[in-house]
A = this chain, B = another copy of it.
Amino acid sequence: MNEANDELAFEPHEEELLSRVAWHYYHDGLTQSEIGERLNLSRIKVSRMLDRGRKMGLIHVHINSSYGGCFALEAKLQEIYGLDEARVIPAQESGNINDRLAEAASQYLMGRLKDQEMLAVGWGATVMGTLQRLARTLSYRDISLVSLTGGVSAYIEGVASGRSSQNVHLIPAPLVVSQENIAEAIRAERHVVEVMSMARTANYALVGIGAVADEATLIASGYASRSQFEIFRRQGAVGDIIGIFYDQNGVPLDLPFHKMLVGLDFEALSAIPQVIAAAGGPKKVDAIRAAARGGRIDVLITDEPTAQAIIEKDQA
């Protein structure tokens, strides 16, 4: 697991200084040394401030082009699956796909989120990365966060910490419990009911898409076992969103596992105005394709080879 413990808060004064440094650097084109002289800082400190600014999303580079992602693929995805929007990021051999998807997703959301809106979040590594990058934007624009499922406290709290103004509502439970009646009991808890009904009112939902593969985060984090996955696969599962497995048409399966989940169901998820999924990689092609075919998602953020693979399967 990645560390989500970076201290994301800093002094207002420091923030002003950082903004000023960034302005001089990017807009005025001064060198770091020049900025240092002006503001009485060592060159190296200026460098570090810029670094932090970039990491924390204070500095944001936007590529103002229809090709920012691969336009042709985006158009095809939108057309074939009736998506509101598709974002495709260029291919790259090395580097972590999830980080790059998270970058693209956070960028998409930064452009979309308005003041005081509410964002519901699902589960998974990409979602986590996206939230980390969004942390600053969220608090600036007074965005509320709400979880779609249990089991997210660990990483959301990391993101939210240090900012008091932010409204964060988590389902205080694990993603999956061991027995159906326990899940029922948890879902009936007053606090859980409250958060879940709040999640239904969110403006956007940000979700990952899981493949039915041994590397799945669900298995890595102990919420499911390989043998369970094998059973799911036999029953036709090709992927999952917020823990719900669906077949190749994006129709949810009738699995006992689903009864043990603590979180919203597909019906409630679809009722959220815009469901945004960020996922990519060869293992996830079928999972993403099925989700798109079934209309489970409104916005898809993925990478170039994955988009290519998805489209090829549906044009054959």
A67 to B137, CA, bound (A): 13
Query: B residues within 8 A CB of A90?
Result: 20, 23-24
A81 to B45, CA, bound (A): 38
Decide if A136 is an interface residue (CB 8 Å cutoff): yes
> Contacts A23-B90, A90-B20 known; A28 to B64 CB distance under 8 Å?
no
Copies of this subunit? 2
Does A60 contact B67, Cβ atoms closer than 8 Å? no
Does A61 contact B60, Cβ atoms closer than 8 Å? yes
Name A64's contact: one of B67, B70, B89, B137 (CB within 8 Å): B137
**Stretch in A11-19, A149-157, A241-249, A262-270 with 4+ CB within 8 Å of B:** A11-19
Chain B minimum-CB-distance residue to A62 = B60
> Contacts A23-B90, A24-B90, A28-B95 known; A18 to B64 CB distance under 8 Å?
no
A21 to chain B, nearest CB (A): 9
Query: B residues within 8 A CB of A95?
Result: 28
Does A67 contact B136, Cβ atoms closer than 8 Å? no
- Count residues of chain A with CB under 8 A from any CB of chain B: 40
- Per-residue contact bits, chain A 40-60, to B (CB 8 Å; 1 contact, 0 not): 000000000000010001111
A23 to B22, CA, bound (A): 20
Decide if A140 is an interface residue (CB 8 Å cutoff): yes
Decide if A2 is an interface residue (CB 8 Å cutoff): no
A145 to B53, CA, bound (A): 36
Decide if A63 is an interface residue (CB 8 Å cutoff): yes
Does A18 contact B65, Cβ atoms closer than 8 Å? yes
Q: Told that A26-B63, A64-B137, A65-B140 touch, could you supply 13 new A-B pairs with CB distance under 8 A?
A: A15-B65, A18-B65, A18-B67, A23-B89, A24-B90, A26-B61, A27-B100, A38-B92, A58-B63, A59-B61, A59-B64, A60-B62, A64-B136
Chain A residues near B (Cβ < 8 Å): 15-16, 18-20, 22-24, 26-28, 38, 53, 57-71, 89-90, 92-93, 95, 100, 103-104, 110, 136-137, 140
